[in-house]
Homo-oligomer: A and B are copies of this chain.
């Protein structure tokens, strides 16, 4: 009996946000810990969320002309070292294979932390003519980065992601690709995951190792910390030169192509939890939810209840809704708590009295509102309710974001605002590294991005007093 599973209480997010997050990950059965620190198991429910995100993105990538490929897991040390900035950024956190079978390898191999070097080596073999461009590739895989501190979804030594890698004839075309793919992430997070984003450019300090420009979408969590939720990089022709990738152009001249890469990972599921979750557990937007409606028969032993509940289930499924029934022998209270923990957007309750009244009761996960629905209108009303939950979650998150962007005109003010409210602190900025480092050292904030949508807050950088170049967002990030 002791081993029988039960829905246990989770820590309140106001008491300990980090513990609340971990509790949700485990109790909603999203992850399990493996025997290796920082390598997490994605359980069926967690993986189903990832599959839904994958399927949205993969469809969109393909519509935009990208093709999937599979690159090797291992990178020889010498290959990783070909691009100077890149190896400096990644070598310190590589996991190294030094033995194959019982033999020591002549050269150690790192498990890919990202695959730019592999794509570049491949392209140096297969790119010949201007006719071969653009090459727009993507790969779904896992990568390893040997981090010190690890947390489910947010920071793992292994994580699942997609990495897009493209080659173009011109810088303009490559930059357009970089911006387009950032917009794909923004659209997916906002429309599919109900997570509002801030689009912008990273400072030079925060750029991807080896990139000329890094774009980012930044989200705000419940606790008013920032989450970098997807990045897109423009490399110029730097990697192409380092790896000897060239093609003969229309004038038959050997030319270097321009390159991009862009990636998003299971980290976004961590963001999803921290954007929508509450003290009852996970809350999932209907669009991404593996189960959109859970049908719970009340007093299921009473004649006709189970039959009718199964009839409703069949009707919902036939209408294209991802529905399931809980006809287990668990108590009603257990069932409600369990499906709330798992964040199912709508719970449909049906008991003998409902049947008499020709109705059922839909309980919204986002605000616990109980909505009676006439059985005759079921397949019309449920999609409306799901849309309402999706919109409700977006609006709430947008409200959280908008009400936590604060304007500051000095480093001290920025620091005070962050300590008091959290969120994004917006200031002007001279563009200098020293001011960025000062903000980190004195106010504990990193630059999140230079937003695409700029405002003129002041003429000068509030840190050094020199002329301002941009408005920038600062924050404390996951």
Q: Which residues of A contact B (CB under 8 A)?
A: 1, 3-5, 32, 34-36, 39-44, 47-48, 50-51, 67-76, 79, 92-102, 108-109, 111, 118, 121-122, 125-126, 128-129, 131-132, 137, 141-142, 144, 146, 157-158, 160, 247-248, 252, 328
Contact = CB atoms under 8 A, between A and B. Distances in A.
Contacts of A5: 128-129, 132
Contacts of A160: 70
B44 A67 contact: yes
Given A70-B142, A74-B95, A92-B101, 19 more contacts: A1-B252, A3-B128, A4-B128, A32-B122, A35-B76, A36-B76, A41-B72, A41-B122, A44-B137, A47-B68, A72-B158, A73-B73, A73-B111, A73-B142, A73-B144, A93-B101, A94-B101, A95-B109, A99-B108
Contact of A96 (B43, B97, B121, B247): B97
A160 to B, nearest CB: 6
**Interface-central residue, A51, A96, A126, by most chain B CB under 10 Å:** A96
Nearest to A148: B101
B73 A44 contact: no
B95 A99 contact: yes
Contacts of A32: 122, 125-126
A72 B36 contact: yes
Given A3-B129, A47-B67, A97 B111 contact: yes
A265 to B, nearest CB: 12
Nearest to A108: B99
**Interface-central residue, A40, A146, A157, by most chain B CB under 10 Å:** A146
A97 B99 CA distance: 7
Nearest to A39: B72
Nearest to A101: B146
16 contacts: A1-B248, A1-B252, A4-B128, A32-B122, A34-B71, A36-B76, A41-B70, A41-B118, A41-B122, A48-B67, A73-B142, A93-B101, A97-B98, A97-B111, A99-B108, A111-B111
A106 to B, nearest CB: 11
A79 B39 CA distance: 14
B39 A73 contact: yes
Tell me the number of copies of this protein. 2
Contacts of A34: 71-72, 118, 121-122
Nearest to A58: B51
Nearest to A71: B41
Contacts of A1: 248, 252
A158 B73 contact: yes
Contacts of A99: 95-96, 98, 108
A125 B69 CA distance: 35
A68 B92 contact: no
A111 B71 CA distance: 16
Given A40-B72, A72-B36, A328 B131 contact: yes
Nearest to A42: B70
A137 to B, nearest CB: 7
Contacts of A142: 70, 73, 141
Nearest to A135: B44
Contacts of A72: 34, 36, 39-41, 158
**Interface-central residue, A73, A92, A137, by most chain B CB under 10 Å:** A73
A70 B47 contact: yes
Contact of A98 (B67, B96, B101, B328): B96
A92 B102 contact: yes
Nearest to A3: B128
A338 to B, nearest CB: 12
A415 B126 CA distance: 45
Contacts of A43: 69, 126
Q: Which A-B residue pairs are the 6 nearest by beta carbons?
A: A44-B67, A39-B72, A42-B70, A100-B146, A96-B99, A3-B128
A209 to B, nearest CB: 15
Nearest to A67: B44
A68 B44 contact: yes
A24 B67 CA distance: 21
A162 B129 CA distance: 36
Contact of A44 (B50, B69, B157): B69
Contacts of A74: 36, 39, 95, 158
A230 to B, nearest CB: 20
A173 to B, nearest CB: 19
